[in-house]
Chains A and B, each alone.
Chain A
Amino acid sequence: MAEISIRNVTKSFQATSVLREVSLNIADGEFLTLLGPSGCGKSTLLRILAGLEVQTGGSVAIGERIVDGVRPKRRDVAMVFQSYALYPHMTVAQNMALPLRMRRLSSWQRLPLLGRFMPGTTATTAEIERDVTRTAKALGIGHLLARKPGQLSGGQRQRVAVGRAMVREPAVFLMDEPLSNLDAKLRVQMRAEIKELHNRLGVTFVYVTHDQAEAMTMSDRVAVMLDGELLQVAPPQQIYADPDDRRVAEFIGSPKINMLEGKVLEAGLANMAGAAFSVPVQVASGTTITIGIRPEAFHVVDSHGLNVLTGSVRMVEHMGSDLFVHLDVPGTDHPVIARLLAERAPQIVSGQTLHLGVKPERLLLFSADGRRLRPEDHAGATVLRMKEHVQ
C-alpha cells in the first residue's frame, strides 16, 4: 500500500520560491501525471518525493509513514530519469542488479574478491541474477544483458532504466520525463508500454511531463502545475472540458483555446468581439470577463445572432478528417481558430465571411483574475473566494 500525501510543501532556492504550498493526495495504485511547462517546479516536486531534495516546508508521507528526512533508499521508491542515468561502466545486467545487490547482500558479501566466500553470497547472487533475467525478458531486453549502455539505442537504454527501477519491485514509481529523449514514433510506443506496465504492476506511478498528449493518454488524474502552484488536479477529460483556471484551459488542448475579452451588459448577457453571448452566471453588469471557446465547439450557422461570431476567413488548414479555420473577427487581437468536421463544413475558402455558432453550455467563462465562473457562482461568492485567495 503506497498512497502518497503531500501537505503544504514549499521549496525555495535562496530568494526564488519554486513550490508554493503544494498539497496533493495520490491514491494507492494511481497513475498521476504532473503536467506543466518547464520550470514550473514539477521535477522539483518529484525529487522531493524521492528524497533527492529536501523541501523548505511542509511534509510528505508515503504509505502510512512520514518520510521527511528519510534517505532515498529507505523510501521504497524507484525513479526513471530523463537522461536514464545508467552507469556507463557496468553492463546492463550489472546496472539492473545493483539496486538488488545493495539491498539483499550485506556489505561483507559485496566485497570485491572476498565476498563470494561469505556464507549465503552464492545463493543470493543466483537469486538476483534470476530476478534480473526475468525482468529483462519481460521488457524484451533479455538479449542485451551483457552489453554496456554505450552500445544500446535510445529506446533500449530507456527500457534498461525502467528495468532497473522495476526489478526491485518498489511501492512507488517516479518518472521524470522518461520519454522526452526518444523520437516521436518510439514515444507513442513506449507510452503504451508504460501504461501497460502500470496496469500489470498495479503500483503507484507519479509521472512528470510537459507533453499534454502523454498526460492525457496515460493518466488516471492529471495535476497541472504552473509557477510552483497546483492549478487543478482532475481526470484528463475533466481537465480538458471543465478547467478551473484560465491558465489550465490555455495550457491544455491543441490548437489552443480561443479567449475573448468582453463586458457583461446585463444579467445573463455579455458583449465581446461585436457579438452577444449568453452567460449563465450572475455577475454585475460592467464586469470584465473572458470567454473561452474550444476550437471544436464551433459549428457553422447561416446568419449572425446570439452566440455567433462573424468574421472573414484568413486561412483554412485541411487536416484530413478536420478543417482548422482561422477567422479574423473584428475587435480581437488573434484570429479565432475553429476545428470543423470536414464533411459537415461547407466549402470554405479564405476571404469569405463566416458565421460560427457556439452552444451556450460549451462556453467557458473566466473572471478577470483567471478563475473559472460556473453557472452556480454568483457575484458575492466570487468576491469572497477572491478574498480568500489573496489571503
Chain B
Amino acid sequence: MSTPHSQGLSAPSAVMRHCVLLITGALILVPFVWMVSLSIKPPGEIFRASFSFWPQQFYGIENYTRALTEAPLPQYMLNGVFVCTMIVVLQIAVCAPAAYALAKLDFPGKNLLFAMVLIALILPHEVLSLPLFILGYQIGILNTYAALILPFVVSPFGIFLFRQFFKTIPDDVIHAARLDGLSELAIVWRIMVPMALPAIIAFAIFSVVSHWNSLFWPLIAVRDQSLMPPPLGIMAFKNEEAGNDYGPLMAASTIVVAPLIIAFLSAQRWFVEGLTGGAVK
C-alpha cells in the first residue's frame, strides 16, 4: 500500500487509490476530531453555526474538570481497566489450550466441537443476554465484577483465531517439544503462544476495545455505581436537566477513548501482522 509503484500501478491509479484511502480515513477521523474540538469549547460556542477547530475561548480546563468530578469517572476507568484486564487474561488462558487441542490434537468429536465454535462465532452476544441474566441471578453474581467478566471468558473468536494461527505452526516443532520433555500444557504456553504472539496481541486489542466500549451488558448486569465501566459514566452527562452539557460529555468521551488510541498506536505493528499473518504465510 505504501509502495504502489513497486506493485506495478500506474501513477493515476496510485493517485486514485490514495484519494479513496484519504477520504475513507477522513470520514472515520472527523467525528473524533470534532469530539476533541467540542471538549475544549464553552457551551456558547458548541452550537454556533460556523465551525472552527480551535475555540475562541479555551474552555478545556473547565470541561475536563467537570468530566472528572461530576461523575466518578476515575472510578469507572479503574473498573474498566480491571474488568478488561481480567477478561483478556482469562480469555487467553481458556482460548489458547482450546485452540491448541482443535488445531493439533486428534480426538473423537473434534470436528463437531469446532463446528460448535463456528456457530458460537455467528451468534451475537446480545442474543445470550437474557439467559445469562437469569443464570447470573441463579448463581447470585449479578451486580458484581464476576457478572461483568465471566460471560466473556470463553471467546469463540479467540478460539477460532488462535486455531487458525496454531495450524500454521509445523507439527515437527510440537514433536520436537514432546521429545524435549514438554507437557502438552507447557507446549501451549512455552512454544505455541510465543510463536503466535502477533495473533495473541491482535486478539487482546480486539477484546480490550470491545469490552472497554461495552455498554449493553454492563447496563443489565450491574446497578452499583462503583462497578460501572466507562461508557456508563459517559451516560451520566446525557440524561440530566437539558441537553446542553455537551462540553463535559465530550471531555469525558475523550478521556474514555484516549487509552484505547494510545494502546492501539503502540501495538499497531502487531495488530496488523496478527490479522494477516495467518492467511498469508
Contacts and interface: CB of A to CB of B under 8 A. Distances in A.
A99 B181 contact: yes
B170 to A, nearest CB: 6
Interface residues of B, number: 16
A81 interface: yes
Interface in B99-152: none
B175 A50 contact: yes
B263 interface: no
A51 B176 CA distance: 11
B179 interface: yes
A89 interface: yes
A72 interface: yes
A164 interface: yes
A87 B179 contact: no
Contacts of B195: 87-89
A102 B175 contact: no
A52 interface: yes
A72 B172 contact: no
A164 B180 contact: yes
A84 B176 CA distance: 9
B172 A81 contact: yes
Contacts of A86: 173, 176
A201 B182 CA distance: 25
A102 B180 contact: yes
Interface in A133-186: 164
Nearest to A71: B178
A83 B172 CA distance: 7
Contacts of A82: 172
B181 A103 contact: yes
A73 B179 contact: yes
Contacts of A77: 179
A78 interface: yes
A339 B172 CA distance: 42
A102 B172 contact: no
A86 B176 CA distance: 8
Interface string B178-194: 11111000100001001
Contact of B175 (A52, A89, A98, A164): A52
A85 B177 CA distance: 9
A98 B178 contact: no
A79 interface: yes
Nearest to A174: B179
| Most chain A CB neighbours (cut-off 10 Å) among B170, B175, B178, B197 | B175
B242 to A, nearest CB: 55
Nearest to B186: A102
A85 B186 CA distance: 17
A180 B181 CA distance: 26
Contacts of B197: 89
Nearest to B178: A72
Interface string B13-46: 0000000000000000000000000000000000
Nearest to A82: B172
Nearest to A161: B176
Given A88-B195, A89-B195, A79 B170 contact: no
Contacts of B172: 81-85
Contact of B176 (A47, A85, A103): A85
Contacts of B173: 85-87
Nearest to B179: A72
Contacts of A52: 175, 178-179
A91 B177 CA distance: 15
B106 to A, nearest CB: 10
A81 B175 contact: yes
A85 B175 contact: yes
Given A81-B172, A82-B172, A87 B191 contact: yes
A79 B181 contact: no
Contacts of B191: 87
Contact of A78 (B177, B179, B186): B179
Contacts of B170: 83, 85
Interface in A66-82: 71-73, 77-79, 81-82
Contact of A79 (B176, B182, B186, B194): B176
Nearest to A89: B194
B175 A99 contact: no
A83 B32 CA distance: 49
A101 to B, nearest CB: 9
B159 to A, nearest CB: 22
A87 B172 CA distance: 10
Contacts of A103: 181
Contacts of B186: 102
A300 to B, nearest CB: 51
Interface string A277-316: 0000000000000000000000000000000000000000
B93 to A, nearest CB: 15
A79 B178 CA distance: 11
B166 to A, nearest CB: 14
Nearest to A52: B175
A116 to B, nearest CB: 17
A73 B175 CA distance: 10
B277 to A, nearest CB: 13
B179 to A, nearest CB: 5
Interface string A19-52: 0000000000000000000000000000100111
A81 B194 contact: no
B176 A73 contact: no
A150 to B, nearest CB: 12
Contacts of B178: 51-52, 71-73
| Most chain B CB neighbours (cut-off 10 Å) among A51, A78, A98 | A98
A157 to B, nearest CB: 13
A81 B180 contact: no
A257 B264 CA distance: 67
A50 B178 CA distance: 10
Nearest to B197: A89
14 contacts: A47-B175, A52-B175, A52-B179, A71-B178, A73-B178, A73-B179, A73-B182, A78-B179, A79-B176, A83-B172, A86-B176, A87-B173, A87-B177, A164-B176
